[in-house]
Structure 1
Amino acid sequence: MSDLRRVPSSGAVEVGYPTGHLGHLTEHETQALEDFKALIEEKGIYKPGPPPSHDDQTLLRFLRARRWVPQDAYVQFSETQKFRNANEIEKLYDTIDITSYEASRKLVQRTLDTRALPDGETSVLTEPLPCSGIPIYVFKIGHLDSKAVSDYEKSTETTYSKAKTDGKTPPKLLRLLALYENLTRFVQPLSSECVDRPNTHTPITLSTNIVDISNVSLRMFWNLKGHMQVASQLATAHYPETLDRIFIIGAPYFFSTVWGWIKRWFDPVTVSKIFILSDHDVLPVLMTFMEIEDIPKGYGGKLDWSFFDEPAYDDEIKRIARWENGHTTFPPGPCRWQLSEDGTRVECLAVGSQDGQERREIVCTVPKGCVPKSDTSTETATTNDEKEETSAATSVDDEAETAKHLYPGPGTQRPPPPSLPPMPWQV
């Protein structure tokens, strides 16, 4: 997933992004973060550095997932560290065979490259608004017939990285976890460095998913049930609070039965982030988050992009990227970011292996645009940019303000937009 389209955010557990994220913590949340750090340092699974073994935005994901209770966050965090160490997840990502990685990526997942309005804004505004920065992924299930799945599972039986495993986690699932590593180590950091968004001091740690289940039979769902369940549980356990929302489109008539399985795999907060859209509601709802020019034609928009197309990058990414070593775009395979020696830029490092040879090549650099703010008081300091954003927000007309709140924060049990009646399985 080397392509980016970015959508607005709702973010934190209770009242919406960026609440609960760096630079926007309450006194209670700040204290919880300090207590959490002290606890995991005492347990020997965190080093304060500099540099620290884990950045604050990562630790905050576990705290949000566990309602700001440090002891509960510690339990999940420690289990994740055990899992990562037992399966050498970082080595898995850095040495995975590029062909194998691309086979996993192309199986069900793509990333769009769309620009979007801030949360809930619609195109009734006459002045352009900045993108909120959250990346959007597209998952398409309809091509996963038994042969495609069988071929994929056979391909995972061979060695595809230098990482040792715990012997319990199936190789096909470990390979899919490399895609989550790509989210947290490549896609979200790149999104964070884009400065044409509000809250540029707040790192992006979320993603939004469009899951296209059109042309999927009940038999296909049944055949994928076990795999989907384990994959979902692994992601929920070890990559908490990386989801902003999920839009499910193309749901067949029998999906109420399938939904009964699926919603039991997730906690209630995650379920509240899932929206099932009927065909005639897909475009209106997506337009509350993206410009119509950035919505694929297959979903009623104007973007000439389909699921199997190569990525297209938006103008901000093109503007900030300074390409190196003959590259003009991000290559296939895994990539990650590292800080430059002088600390003013971040470097995209292409990793993975090809024909048994590890790849370590600088692809491009971008300016270090996201410098997280500290949270040292109950009321977070307001920057001049944020004051300007607040002032601009008060001048937006009533219709746009109403649209802005179609979706409250993901911690609440959110109904579909007012114009959409609940689907039978959402009641």
Structure 2
Amino acid sequence: MPPANQAPGRPGNLTPEQEAKLKEFWLLIMKTFGVQPPPSLLESSAISATASIKSANGSTAVSETAESHDKKKKRFGVFRKKDKESKEKEKEKTNSSTISSPSIASATTTDDNDKYGQSKQFKTAIAEMTPEELRVAFWSMVQADHPDGLLLRFLRARKWDVKKALVMMVSTMHWRLKEVDVQSIMFKGEGAALAEHDEGFLKQLRMGKSYLHETDKEGRPICVVRARLHKQGDQSEDALNRYTIYVIETARMCLKDPVDTATVIFDLSDFSLANMDYAPVKFMIKCFEAHYPESLGVCLVYKAPWIFQGVWNIIKGWLDPVVASKIHFVRNSDQLSEFIDRDKLWKDLGGSDPWEYQYIEPVKGEDDLLQDVETREKLLEERAKIVREYEDATWTWIYSSSSEARQARFDVAKRLKLDYVGLDPYLRARTVYDRIHYIDLKRSTA
């Protein structure tokens, strides 16, 4: 049974048709990442060790033997780098096998709605990154998520079109790894910004330009953006973009099953045109539409003044209709209380709760575990074993309709999530929300 209040199209709450689409997606992903079925499955009657495996649309997804599976076992690690020679050899294999596969090479589409050029980014990712690099990027992106939950975000965003979902996901992985380096932003965090005198980044945290606090009636974490505190030119575009990614990734740490979306409130009280800056708005829209699909639960525009009407006429033209449908204008605390319980409304939102945002500076020694490379490597090795178990269980589930195969994957997925709790301090610098215990991964995995 799905958890209480579990939305449709989520792990454990899929229709047979949706589960078939998820299996098809995983099959294509396994080929993209160069992950082969376990020898036990190849030797069973489920599939032939020498026969091509077909996806649901009939295209060839993989053709491998148990022997080739043994030869192609690869090491998994977030921080490991392959030497140049081995990378070139793997790219040669990619050119001769993976890219020639019609199920992957033909995944690009002529989608009229490809406004962010993701088909082009997909081709670039396949050309520039080896299958193992793509695999590492994916598992780094999973973090504390259920792997199915992450895939289902892309499937829902692309209306269950598997090829379009693959294009979107791989282009996002390329964006995270090669364009903005999400991992580095979260690894360095507030402590490194303080040590490196990164004032553009820190200023936004200290003033509380945006902050996370409380949850709405659906249990979604709330992110408030106070537009009146923004002044164009106060910080570089790079600092703004890094800060935006930092807030979104931090909010991901605050999700607790079965909730998988967040609420964003744009507080426009005391807003003036001097606070308007279109570049960061465009970047934020791109993040939600292209790289963090199905992450926004609702967006509330609070106390918009009349001068915002002209601004809104411009912004709404940039929005995907699905995202636009989640935006609601609210004028006062009474209208806010339709989304947030009254006892959780604080002063900035017209409520009576005296809570106010206060930034707590980094604490000396809180990020020491980030420098413990030896322990991190050991933990990553252990995680690699669980990842491989999940991949093997996924192969079995793809070719099985049994409840046992389905449950086996869920059991391993739970172990992955619990495992990340111990790994997290070695990968992610502490934030103000760790200091005030708003982030509690142990609680979220309970």
Q: TM-score, normalised by structure 2?
A: 0.53
- 1:83 correspondence with 2:175: yes
- 1:294 correspondence with 2:344: yes
Contact 1:110 1:138 in 2 (8 A): yes
- 1:216 correspondence with 2:302: no
2:358 to 303, 309, 312: 309
Instruction: Name the structure 1 match of 2:151.
Output: 59
The structural deviation recorded for 1:111 is 1.0
Instruction: Name the structure 1 match of 2:160.
Output: 68
The verdict on how the C-alpha distance between 1:20 and 1:47 changes in structure 2, with shifts beyond 3 A counting, is farther
The structural deviation recorded for 1:232 is 1.9
1:183 to 238, 245, 251: 251
Instruction: Name the structure 2 match of 1:285.
Output: 335
Contact 1:251 1:276 in 2 (8 A): yes
Distance 2:443 2:36 in 1: 24
Contact 1:344 1:368 in 2 (8 A): no
Counterpart secondary structure, 1:78: helix
Residue-by-residue CA offset, 1:1-23 (whole Å, 9 max, x unaligned): xxxxxxxxxxxxxxx96112222
Instruction: Name the structure 1 match of 2:298.
Output: 245
Distance 1:46 1:368 in 2: 33
Contact 1:94 1:351 in 2 (8 A): yes
Counterpart secondary structure, 2:233: helix
Distance 1:85 1:48 in 2: 27
1:346 to 395, 409, 421: 421
The verdict on how the C-alpha distance between 1:48 and 1:110 changes in structure 2, with shifts beyond 3 A counting, is farther
Instruction: Name the structure 2 match of 1:235.
Output: 288
Contact 1:104 1:176 in 2 (8 A): no
Residue-by-residue CA offset, 1:197-254 (whole Å, 9 max, x unaligned): xxxxx3x320001111122223432xx0123213321332111111000110111112
Counterpart secondary structure, 2:225: strand
Counterpart secondary structure, 1:288: coil
Distance 1:58 1:44 in 2: 16
Instruction: Name the structure 1 match of 2:235.
Output: 152
Instruction: Name the structure 1 match of 2:124.
Output: none
- Could you tell me which amino acid in structure 2 is paired with residue 346 of structure 1? V
2:221 to 135, 145, 155: 135
**More relative contact order in 1 or in 2 (CA 8 Å, sep 6+)?**
1
Residue-by-residue CA offset, 1:349-397 (whole Å, 9 max, x unaligned): 276679xxxxxx9x997656648xxxxxxxxxxxxxxxxxxxxxxxxxx
- Could you tell me which amino acid in structure 2 is paired with residue 61 of structure 1? R
- In structure 1, stretches of 5+ residues that fail to align are 1-15, 118-131, 157-169, 193-201, 312-324, 328-337, 355-360, 372-427
Instruction: Name the structure 1 match of 2:188.
Output: 95
Distance 1:342 1:82 in 2: 23
- Could you tell me which amino acid in structure 2 is paired with residue 62 of structure 1? F
- 1:32 correspondence with 2:21: yes
- Could you tell me which amino acid in structure 2 is paired with residue 112 of structure 1? H
The verdict on how the C-alpha distance between 1:64 and 1:367 changes in structure 2, with shifts beyond 3 A counting, is same
Alignment of 1:315-354 (within 5 A): 343=418, 346-347=421-422, 349=425
Distance 1:152 1:32 in 2: 44
- Could you tell me which amino acid in structure 1 is paired with residue 339 of structure 2? F
Contact 2:240 2:280 in 1 (8 A): no
Counterpart secondary structure, 2:224: strand
Contact 2:254 2:440 in 1 (8 A): no
Distance 2:420 2:352 in 1: 34
**Structure with greater Cα Rg:** 2
Distance 1:144 1:34 in 2: 45
Instruction: Name the structure 2 match of 1:165.
Output: none
The verdict on how the C-alpha distance between 1:40 and 1:104 changes in structure 2, with shifts beyond 3 A counting, is farther
Distance 2:292 2:324 in 1: 16
1:20 to 4, 9, 15: 9
Residue-by-residue CA offset, 1:279-323 (whole Å, 9 max, x unaligned): xxx2223223333221013433221123x4359xxxxxxxxxxxx
Q: TM-score, normalised by structure 1?
A: 0.56
Aligned length: 275
Contact 2:211 2:223 in 1 (8 A): yes
The structural deviation recorded for 1:58 is 1.0
The verdict on how the C-alpha distance between 1:207 and 1:326 changes in structure 2, with shifts beyond 3 A counting, is same
Counterpart secondary structure, 1:112: strand
Counterpart secondary structure, 2:230: coil
The structural deviation recorded for 1:89 is 1.8
| Identity percentage of aligned residues | 23
The structure with more helix, counted as a fraction of residues: 2
The structural deviation recorded for 1:47 is 8.8
Distance 2:229 2:440 in 1: 36
The structural deviation recorded for 1:112 is 1.3
- 1:109 correspondence with 2:214: no
Instruction: Name the structure 2 match of 1:254.
Output: 307
The structural deviation recorded for 1:67 is 0.8
The verdict on how the C-alpha distance between 1:365 and 1:81 changes in structure 2, with shifts beyond 3 A counting, is closer
Counterpart secondary structure, 1:289: coil
Residue-by-residue CA offset, 1:170-189 (whole Å, 9 max, x unaligned): 454234212222122x222x
Distance 1:25 1:90 in 2: 31
Distance 2:344 2:31 in 1: 48
